Structure 1
Amino acid sequence: MNQSAARPLPQKEKETTTYKILFILGLCHLLNDSIQSVIPAMFPILEKSMGLSFTQLGMIAFSLNIVSSIMQPVIGLISDRKPMPFVLPVSLTVTLFGIMGLAFAPSFEWIILSVLLIGLGSAIFHPEGSRVVYMAAGPRRGLAQSIYQVGGNSGQALAPLITALILVPFGQRGAAWFIIVAAAAVALLFYIATWYAGRLKEASLRTKAKKVVGKGNQGFIKKIKQSLIVILLLIFARSWYLSGITNFYAFYAIEKYGLTIRESQLFLFAFLITGAIGTFFGGPLADRFGKKRIIFLSLIGTAPISILLPFAPPAAAFAMLALCGFILMSSFSVTVVYAQELVPGKIGTMAGLTVGLAFGMGALGSIGLGYLADLIGLPLTIIYTGFLPLLGIMTILLPSDETLAAWNQ
């Protein structure tokens, strides 16, 4: 373990929340995830121009997300051992080449290669970004993580607008506009990396994982492992539902309500933008009322709406999607903070595991639900997907916030 990583932060640093860094990093997260959102936003375009099946569209989403899922925990583990500030601008440089390839890809195979690059860039960005958030958070970890994650979710929420305003009129070549977005993110991340490197010279984050996990108490370690399994199952439920809505609900709305591509994107925008708002409010609410409680209410509160959604008329469906997005995504940043406090000192690893797994589960959901839609039809697939949030009942198996605090003393 790097000796500097074992030294605690000065008390003053721990009590200060550096909002400037948090907001700039949140903006970079928005730019990064808006680029990723181009890919599912292009699905209706690619389905028509290349004649792709739902399964092939699922494979594209799978290719994007599986790289991020596998690499994020690995990069997080490496960064916990040796922080790497200047990989942040490198990450968006990789993404820049991916979006360039996507805009001019002549075939399905080239699209897969391009989205693999975008997924790799995202995998590099997220764990180091979470470490910067932790350093800048001070005592307000829930709020800090929410500022960071709301940037990403806002970027994802732009997907329907990207489709309606850029991809519908310009087609696949419209993705080239995001080369400028990637370049702007690279410039901002150089500033973040410089601040990050300066902080590492002064002091590193306190590493508690050795103290906690290294006690040799096998029963204690078993409880942590069981809790991590529950968290991963909750992420599975949320990610598969998100995948079903973001990748396939537009097709469902077009078929059921007779909407145009542009109109269907407004339904998705309602879901995603309220999801971004829910992400922001989830962190402060968790700081006040407890992380476990917010995670539980997020999933269980979504279930009645998600189950009834496929049977609602258009106006009601629009409102239900908006409410569903807000409630479901209120636990997104909270889950990351809960995992980081469950295994303290492993900031990058836990961020990589939870956020990376969300990408991975979304990837599997994309290809799995795409195959299911080809097999049994899209309407039944959307109906069955609505029952996934019921798995939130498993939250009762997690240790309470008070228990986590006691473990970390």
Structure 2
Amino acid sequence: MSLSENPTFVEDDEIRRNAARFSMQMLLLVCCAHCCNDLIQAVIPATLPLLKENYMLTFAEVGLITMVVQITASLLQPMVGWAADHRSFNQSLTVGMGVTFTGLIALSNAHSYEMILISVAFIGAGSAIFHPEAARRAQRFANGRPGLAQAVFQVGGNGGAAFGPLAAALILTQYGQDGIALFAAFAAVAMILLFYIGRMSLKVPAGLKSPTEKSASTTPLSSIFRGATGKLFLLLFVLMFSKMVFTSSLSSYLTFYVIEKFGVSVSVSQYVLFAFLAAAALGTVLGGPLTDKFGRRRIIFLSIVGAAPFALALPYVNFTGVIILTIIAAIIISSAFSAILVSALHAAPGRTGLVSGVFFGFAFGLGGVITGVLGVIADHIGIEAVFQYTTLMPLLGIVALALPKTINGRPL
């Protein structure tokens, strides 16, 4: 009797196929929810020129808006990640998206600067609740393929981040601030998806492989930020800092830069922002397989330092040159994020939620603080001068040469 005729073999094969099918279905749903979440987050920078004009804001006040949404996310994400590592509330993702929904409705109806800040704080809090737990949920559905799960999860966020400004250009130019409420539809769709994901998480089929990482209890919290691991985290933070100074200045002020220097319309500036974010999304996706092929240390170094020549030339080229150089620099420097995050996760096994929360939160927090500072500086020396200084930051990628080749006895 052949294996295909063996009832036990046929039954086991059917179980494996069902588990694989369930795994991919859940990953695609998480991917779609991530797309909706990050599309909403990307709408905030796209609304800044509109809010600046409507309320006659200074660059410092514009920067504070971004600072509030990103710092709110950065403060909450590590705590949410830590809590998720220990005990996860099954519908926490739905609740988090509900907070985002509330923030969008409030922002569309805001009639004062203070209300704008409160509204974007809700949106930042919703993102903070979403990212660590969604990353954990993707790994739970990985079915023994954590790399694939992370890639599917990341593609959703990258796609949403890229299309957010494009959607804003199409909607906000026609409906103005009231159009922000239309983006609440994406939050509503995500809530439905996340509620379903939460229910299906309780009905995991037989044959689905459990995550293979160590339990969080076997990785002491005190050991993560000291010794060799602490030194590695410090270096990764510096590298993330250099990346975020450059990318945050572009995501928040690129529209203002091309409007002021080249006299383009607000809608045209949104398409330029879309080109930048789409390139950044592509770079993040490419960073995963490139890291697997060439190694984390090499990709981190080449991606940040490699972007420097293109970044340094940005303030001195024409409008077409800005678009071309922005796309190239964004693709190169964005490929570093995956390598940085994987290096951190590799150094602290069993702490997926906490480490993801720290690094996602650190990225958001740095972006917020830097954007606020840059806004104050731009009010005094002009947006063009700010760009000249921020384009120097990719040179800090030289710090990657100090990254260790091994961590805790394992290759980095």
Please identify, of 32-41 and 103-112, the stretch whose mean Cα deviation from structure 2 is larger.
32-41
Match of 2:335 in 1: 330
Query: Does 1:207 find its partner at 2:240?
Result: no
Contact 2:224 2:230 in 1 (8 A): no
The separation in 1 between residues aligned to 2:35 and 2:264, in whole angstroms, is 28
**Structure 1 pair 162/85, CA: closer, same or farther in 2 (3 Å)?**
same
Contact 1:63 1:115 in 2 (8 A): yes
Match of 1:97 among 77, 94, 102: 102
Please identify, of 16-25 and 176-185, the stretch whose mean Cα deviation from structure 2 is larger.
16-25
Match of 2:8 in 1: none
The separation in 2 between residues aligned to 1:407 and 1:199, in whole angstroms, is 33
Listed as ranges, the matches of 1:170-209 within 5 Å are 170-199=175-204, 206-207=213-214
**Structure 1 pair 199/225, CA: closer, same or farther in 2 (3 Å)?**
farther
Q: Percent identity?
A: 37
The separation in 1 between residues aligned to 2:411 and 2:204, in whole angstroms, is 24
Following TM superposition, by how much is the alpha carbon of 1:323 offset from its aligned partner in structure 2, in angstroms? 1.1
Match of 2:128 in 1: 123
Contact 1:59 1:367 in 2 (8 A): yes
Letter of the 1:380 counterpart = A
Query: Does 1:350 find its partner at 2:366?
Result: no
Match of 1:135 in 2: 140
Structure 2's unaligned 5+ residue stretches are 1-15
Question: What is the count of residue pairs matched by the alignment?
Answer: 393
Length-normalised TM-score, structure 1: 0.89
**Structure 1 pair 213/56, CA: closer, same or farther in 2 (3 Å)?**
same
Match of 2:163 among 158, 164, 180: 158
Contact 2:272 2:323 in 1 (8 A): yes
Match of 1:4 in 2: none
Q: Secondary structure at the match of 1:345?
A: coil
Contact 1:91 1:124 in 2 (8 A): yes
Query: Does 1:64 find its partner at 2:62?
Result: no
Match of 2:7 in 1: none
Match of 1:3 in 2: none
Q: Secondary structure at the match of 2:141?
A: helix
Query: Does 1:264 find its partner at 2:266?
Result: no
Match of 1:5 in 2: none
Match of 2:312 in 1: 307
Bigger radius of gyration among the two = 2
Query: Does 1:20 find its partner at 2:6?
Result: no
Please identify, of 92-101 and 270-279, the stretch whose mean Cα deviation from structure 2 is larger.
270-279
Query: Does 1:113 find its partner at 2:118?
Result: yes
The separation in 2 between residues aligned to 1:325 and 1:290, in whole angstroms, is 20
Length-normalised TM-score, structure 2: 0.89
Contact 2:85 2:216 in 1 (8 A): no
Following TM superposition, by how much is the alpha carbon of 1:164 offset from its aligned partner in structure 2, in angstroms? 1.9
Following TM superposition, by how much is the alpha carbon of 1:204 offset from its aligned partner in structure 2, in angstroms? 6.3
The separation in 2 between residues aligned to 1:136 and 1:283, in whole angstroms, is 19
Structure 1's unaligned 5+ residue stretches are 1-11
Match of 1:238 in 2: 243
Contact 1:227 1:398 in 2 (8 A): yes
**Structure 1 pair 22/393, CA: closer, same or farther in 2 (3 Å)?**
farther
Contact 2:219 2:350 in 1 (8 A): no
The separation in 2 between residues aligned to 1:135 and 1:405, in whole angstroms, is 25
Following TM superposition, by how much is the alpha carbon of 1:198 offset from its aligned partner in structure 2, in angstroms? 4.0
The separation in 2 between residues aligned to 1:163 and 1:82, in whole angstroms, is 37
